[in-house]
Structure 1
Amino acid sequence: MFDVLVYLYENYWRPDACPDHEQLSKKLSAVGFESEEIADALTWLDGLASVAESYVANQHDLSVRVYLPNEQDHLGVASISFLSFLESAGVLPPSMREIVVDRAMAFDGAPVPLEDLKIIVLMVFWSLGEEPDALILDELFVDAEDRLIH
């Protein structure tokens, strides 16, 4: 599913630039994605669109997040730490954080691998039509082992 999401991010500037689900499914299938993977990604994106609408309208940027035990188990320490890092850096406001948490909780695997969480964060920015700054894109795309320290 995450490969499909990355493909969409790389090939469509915004969600509204994507064709309807039927056409998009055909295009993704022609590129080589499996039908189950495509269906999972499109379902996940529908959930993202729905959640983004409600959270952006109803959240305050002064909220504090306490993770429930089931969220802690599902997200894992690495993912929660990364979300805290993004928040403290002023990159991920609470309303967007809640969208990320919701979409991560919709993911079947537990704990959510950090690399998958980074894709979720990227897709939340994408769904809202926002481009993260270059340093955050670097953080989302480049593995720590591949970074050059100057």
Structure 2
Amino acid sequence: MMMDILMYLFETYIHSDAELQVDQDELEDELLRAGFHQKEIFKALHWLEELASLQQSDVHSPLSVSATTAMRIFTEKESVRLDAECRGFLLFLEQIKVLTPETREMVIDRVMGLETSAFELDDLKWIILMVLFNVPGNENAYTLMEEWLYTNEQGILH
């Protein structure tokens, strides 16, 4: 349900270039009218606030100087949420330079921030798109990911 709200918000306000300066009460009312539950709305809005705060974190984190040969080891909780297909997709996107180590970690953080028991590759693609949109300097990566998501293309990105 939380993913549904996030996707609704992303498509309505971000992807459509709608007015981004929306009053939070107005937004909550709209989401309630759309059929979402208040508790889930609050969770989704908090999730988005956390995403915004990740963008403002210290640029000189250990990730920004990580070796190109470093390999990401997933925790047990991350492996439960992100199955082998999702982890493989993250690695693939990092190898083709759609994700950097920094944006990969932001994606994993936001995936783990979701309160859901069911998580699939399509959900991961949406989270990646939201992260790339929110981090300046990732316009090309965002465009590639957007094309991937909206065309449902199978295989390798061009």
Give the aligned partner of residue 9 of structure 1.
Answer: 10
Give the aligned partner of residue 42 of structure 1.
Answer: 45
Hey, which bits of structure 1, 4+ residues long, moved more than 4 A? none
Please list, as runs of the form range in 1=range in 2, the aligned pairs for 1:1-150 lying within 5 A after superposition: 1-13=2-14, 17-54=20-57, 56=59, 58=61, 59-60=63-64, 62-63=66-67, 64=70, 65-110=72-117, 112-128=119-135, 130-131=138-139, 132-133=142-143, 135-143=144-152
Query: 1:31 offset after TM fit, Å?
Result: 3.2
Deviates further, 25-34 or 136-145: 136-145
* Count of aligned positions: 144
Normalised by the size of structure 1, how large is the TM-score? 0.78
Query: 1:93 offset after TM fit, Å?
Result: 0.9
Query: Partners of 1:86 and 1:61 in 2: how far apart?
Result: 19
Query: Partners of 1:18 and 1:87 in 2: how far apart?
Result: 33
Greater relative CO (CA pairs within 8 A, separation 6+): 1
Deviations 1:77-99 (A, max 9, x none): 11111111111111111111110
Larger helix proportion, structure 1 or 2? 1
Question: Any stretches of 5+ residues in structure 2 without a counterpart?
Answer: none
Q: Is the 8 A contact 2:86 2:120 kept in 1?
A: yes
Question: Any stretches of 5+ residues in structure 1 without a counterpart?
Answer: none
Normalised by the size of structure 2, how large is the TM-score? 0.75
Identity across aligned pairs (percent)? 35
Q: What is the alpha-carbon root mean square deviation over aligned residues?
A: 2.7
Q: Structure 1 pair 76/54, CA: closer, same or farther in 2 (3 Å)?
A: same
Q: SS at the partner of 1:54?
A: coil
Query: Partners of 1:57 and 1:30 in 2: how far apart?
Result: 43
What one-letter code is carried by the residue in structure 2 that aligns with 1:51?
Answer: L
